């Protein structure tokens, strides 16, 4: 694993690529295993591939050399008035890649893709139990907002305007 973000390359890939399947299976397995029992049972749900395909979205994978170490997706959702919204989905970094800037690199590419696709804002949901994720999103300028979906796994919703 690289010691710094400069050794991580983030590329847009087809959302049904083999490395995506592997990363998303790991993501869903980890979320199910770590989901707070007080909140019930984790609902396993992958965003359908067409929603993560241009012009409606993208999927990116972070590589350290040839190894896929992280991922994230972006999909267009219903506008809120004149607000053209894209939602970040499935941001995940393998344990050995955490704390090394991989999630930041993934988010940089997803936010640029949202701007390129015409977004006026980027939204996402997460669970408050994912403390590092919430801190990263707030540090990137996302503000907590009322729920914009009915995701049973989420306890926190965020929005950031695209500038």
How many CB atoms lie under 10 A from the CB of residue 59?
A: 28
Identify the band that residue 7 occupies on the pLDDT scale cut at 50, 70 and 90.
confident
- Which comes out higher in pLDDT, residue 1 or 73? 73
CA-based R_g, the chain, Å: 15
pLDDT at residue 152, rounded to an integer: 94
163 has pLDDT over 90: no
> What would the pLDDT profile of 13-54 be if each residue is shown by its tens digit?
999 999 999 999 999 999 999 999 999 899 998 999 999 999
- What pLDDT shows up at residue 1? 34
Residue 97 near residue 10 (C-beta atoms within 8 A): no
Query: Alpha-carbon distance 133 to 130, whole Å?
Result: 5
pLDDT confidence tier of residue 73, bands split at 50, 70 and 90: very high
Whole-number mean pLDDT of the chain?
A: 93
Output the pLDDT for position 5: 46
Q: What are phi and psi of 131, to 5 degrees?
A: -60, -45
pLDDT in tens, 113-135: 999 999 999 999 999 999 999 99
Q: How many domains does the chain have?
A: 1
For residues 27, 6, 105 and 32, what is the CA-based torsion angle, rounded to 10 degrees? Answer: 10
Q: What is the CATH number of the domain that holds 139?
A: 3.40.630.30
User: What residues make up the domain containing 96?
Assistant: 5-161
- Tell me what pLDDT residue 4 has: 44
Contact in structure between 103 and 93 (CB atoms under 8 Å)? yes
User: How far is Cα 130 from Cα 1, in angstroms, rounded to an integer?
Assistant: 23
pLDDT, residue 6, reads: 54
- State the Cα–Cα distance between residues 156 and 36, nearest whole angstrom: 14
Residue 119 exposed, middle or buried by CB count within 10 Å (0-12, 13-18, 19+): buried
């Amino acid at each position: 694993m690289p010691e710094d973000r400069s050794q991580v390359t983030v590329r847009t890939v087809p959302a049904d690529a083999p490395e995506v399947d592997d990363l998303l299976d790991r993501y869903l397995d980890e979320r199910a295993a770590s989901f707070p029992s007080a909140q019930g049972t984790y609902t396993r749900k992958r965003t359908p591939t067409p929603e993560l395909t241009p012009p409606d979205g993208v999927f990116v994978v972070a590589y350290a050399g040839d190894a896929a170490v992280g991922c994230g997706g972006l999909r267009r959702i219903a506008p809120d008035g004149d607000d053209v919204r894209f939602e970040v989905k499935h941001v995940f970094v393998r344990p050995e890649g955490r704390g090394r800037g991989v999630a930041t690199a993934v988010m940089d590419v997803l936010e640029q893709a949202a701007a390129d696709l015409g977004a006026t804002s980027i939204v996402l949901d997460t669970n408050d139990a994912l403390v590092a994720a919430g801190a990263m999103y707030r540090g990137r300028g996302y503000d907590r907002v009322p729920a914009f979906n009915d995701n049973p796994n989420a306890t926190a919703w965020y929005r950031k305007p695209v500038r």
